[in-house]
């Protein structure tokens, strides 16, 4: 029997792990683990089946779009998620305004999605099929 892959947990570089934990909290993520309560340098954030690990790195504050990871997150209802996030994370929504997908929109490649960046420029793309599947 072939071993089964169960999950992937991207590690995002952060210049301030606590600030990034708070950013994800505004998106509805809980923080089940941090290495230090006062000044974390490594932590995990989780919402439903999606988990990110956050690791302090001195060079994390790179300019957005310059060698920063982009993570695509499959969701059931992009519009409802956006409305929820818009209420709790208006600052993150405003910061994403430069993207053509700063609000939910249908894409030429058959998805409906919106994009955000965490405080260090790591990209988060929330998407579903345009047909709502």
**Tens digits of per-residue pLDDT, 40-67?**
999 999 999 999 999 999 875 555 455 6
83-105 burial, b for 16+ CB within 10 Å, e for fewer?
Answer: eebeeebeebbebbeebebbebe
Going across the sheet that includes 123-129, the strands are: 70-74, 123-129, 111-117, 105-106
> Does the structure show a pLDDT above 80 at 18?
yes
State the fold for domain 11-58+68-129.
2,3-Dihydroxybiphenyl 1,2-Dioxygenase; domain 1 (3.10.180)
**Tens digits of per-residue pLDDT, 73-93?**
999 999 999 999 988 877 767
CA separation for the pair 116, 114 (Å, rounded): 7
In the chain, the N- to C-terminal Cα span, in Å, equals: 31
Tell me phi and psi for residue 57, to 5 degrees. Answer: -150, 130
């Amino acid at each position: 029997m072939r071993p089964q892959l169960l999950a992937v947990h991207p590690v995002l570089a952060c210049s301030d792990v606590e600030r990034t934990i708070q950013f994800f909290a505004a998106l509805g993520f809980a923080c089940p683990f941090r290495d230090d309560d006062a000044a974390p340098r490594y932590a995990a954030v989780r919402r439903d089946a999606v988990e990110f690990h956050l690791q302090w790195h001195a060079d994390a504050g790179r300019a957005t779009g310059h060698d920063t990871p982009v993570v695509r997150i499959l969701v059931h209802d992009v519009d409802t998620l956006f409305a929820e996030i818009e209420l709790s994370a208006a600052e993150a929504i405003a910061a994403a305004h430069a993207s053509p997908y700063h609000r939910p929109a249908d894409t030429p490649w058959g998805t409906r999605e919106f994009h955000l960046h965490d405080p260090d420029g790591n990209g988060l793309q929330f998407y579903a099929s345009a047909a709502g599947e």
